[in-house]
Every structure is written in structure tokens, then in C-alpha cells.
């Protein structure tokens, strides 16, 4: 029996690791959101990534 592919997972990167960022001056709340997004990318969980990304956008704009 063939294993059904999880529709909420991908083999493609969600995050561009070629771009280097200096996180040292970011507030801790933004660092935590970024770490969580990176963890979603590492497991290919695009759905959770897409649900969390607006939080980063809103938090970043508030600073």
C-alpha cells in the first residue's frame, strides 16, 4: 500500500537561507517568531509557516 503524502508538508524550502540577516539587534519577540518559522521550514510544514508569517509581519511593523 502506497503511503499518502501529507498535503501540509513540502520538499521545497520555504525560507531563503542565502540571504544573511543580523538578528542581534532584533527584539526577542521577533527572534522567537523567526526561530519558529525556520523550524516549520526545516520540516516542510508550509501550512503552519503560512499561518505564523503574518504574526512576524505585524510584530515587525509595530517596531
Q: What is the pLDDT of residues 46-62, one digit of tens each?
A: 999 999 999 999 999 99
Show Cβ contacts of residue 8 under 8 Å, excluding neighbours closer than 6 positions. 45, 46, 47, 48
Q: What is the pLDDT of residues 3-31, one digit of tens each?
A: 778 887 888 887 777 888 888 999 999 99
pTM for this model (two decimals): 0.78
For residues 45 and 8, the answer to whether their CB atoms sit within 8 Å is yes
Amino acid at each position: 500500500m502506497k503511503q499518502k503524502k501529507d498535503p501540509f508538508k513540502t520538499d521545497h524550502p520555504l525560507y531563503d537561507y542565502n540571504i544573511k540577516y543580523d538578528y542581534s539587534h532584533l527584539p526577542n519577540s521577533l527572534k522567537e517568531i523567526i526561530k519558529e518559522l525556520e523550524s516549520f521550514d526545516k520540516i516542510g510544514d508550509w501550512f503552519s509557516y503560512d499561518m505564523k508569517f503574518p504574526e512576524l509581519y505585524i510584530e515587525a511593523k509595530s517596531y
